[in-house]
Amino acid sequence: MKYLASFIFLALFKPLLFADSIDIVVENYPPYAYKENGNITGLSTDITRYLLEDSGIKAKSWAFAPWKRAFLLASQKPGTLLYTVVRKPNREKLFHWIGPISDRNIYIYKLKRRKDIKASSLEEIKTKGYSIGTVIGTAATEQLKNANLKITETVNYEQNVRMLLLGRTDLIVFLEYSLAYLAKKADSQYSDFEKLFLLDGSKKYYIVIQKDTDSDIVKRLQQSFIKTKHSGKLAEIQKRYLK
């Protein structure tokens, strides 16, 4: 009888036991989310952890998945959070948008020591014949090709950084935080590079949660985000990833 009573109690109150819990799924996308010493870390991860702690919400699970699968899970399963998401009209109604965690600013960079390189537009780069290192198949690559610029394509971003450091290209195209992360891997640092100009700053990265998630959880996360932003904690976390 005692076991039956316990079973009934758990059956009735199981939803309450997990009412303050969510699932988190994310793409492996350094420096926003990646594994280090077996733990998921990164810029977006650190911000999300802080919001969970501040709001008193627990993560039942926190897992990596390829982007397509991660997006599908987060858009269909209530109580599933995803981060580092670009806001687009066709995504608007799929999620509650907790808040923007980072600008998605793509810059043209040179090495700071290259005082001979000066340009403030794609047209000027074209006129001066500078070569730009970029990655095969990216939107930025297509934009630069359409501008008829001198392109040096690589298979990944890490190789792109090394090509610039070795002097095999004059310029590279990068997100700020991605360059800061990969500069360290190439035994360099972000301060060794200099922005020439902004190529695309029209979008931001967001934390989102599935649209049918409990409204109390959504409200608490949104309130925590506002507090985190106004307190300066958001900027503090961001700054750690630009060293």
Could you tell me the residue ranges of all domains in the chain? 21-103+204-240, 104-202
What CA dihedral angle connects 67, 70, 71 and 72, to 10 degrees? Answer: 120
What pLDDT is stored for residue 139 in this prediction?
Answer: 80
Q: Does pLDDT of 242 surpass 60?
A: yes
Cβ-Cβ contacts under 8 Å for 52 (sequence gap 6 or more): 58, 59
pLDDT confidence band for 156 (50 / 70 / 90): confident
CB-CB contact of 228 with 98 (8 Å): no
Q: Specify the pLDDT at position 91.
A: 95
172 by Cβ neighbours in 10 Å (0-12 / 13-18 / 19+) ranks as: buried
21-103+204-240 and 104-202 share one CATH topology?
Answer: yes
Mean pLDDT across the stretch 32-60?
Answer: 96
pLDDT of residue 142: 87
User: Angle between the 157-165 and 176-185 helix axes, to the nearest 10 degrees?
Assistant: 70
What's residue 19's pLDDT?
A: 59
Q: Give the model's pLDDT for residue 138.
A: 82
**% the chain with pLDDT above 70:** 92
Indicate the average pLDDT of the chain: 91
Q: How confident is the model at residue 184 (pLDDT cuts 50, 70, 90)?
A: very high
Enter the CATH code of domain 104-202. Answer: 3.40.190.10
**Lowest mean pLDDT, pick from 45-49, 75-79, 84-88, 234-238:** 84-88
**What's the rounded mean pLDDT across residues 74-103?**
96
- pLDDT tens for 1-24 read 544 444 444 444 444 444 589 999
Pick 14 or 66 by higher pLDDT: 66
Q: Which residues contact 5 (CB under 8 A, 6 or more apart)?
A: none
* pLDDT of 16: 42
Distance CA 56, CA 19 (A): 11
Structure tokens at 229: 């932003």
> Contact, 141 vs 197, CB < 8 A?
no
Give the pLDDT of residue 137: 83
CATH number of 21-103+204-240: 3.40.190.10
* Enclosing H/E stretch for 158: helix 157-165
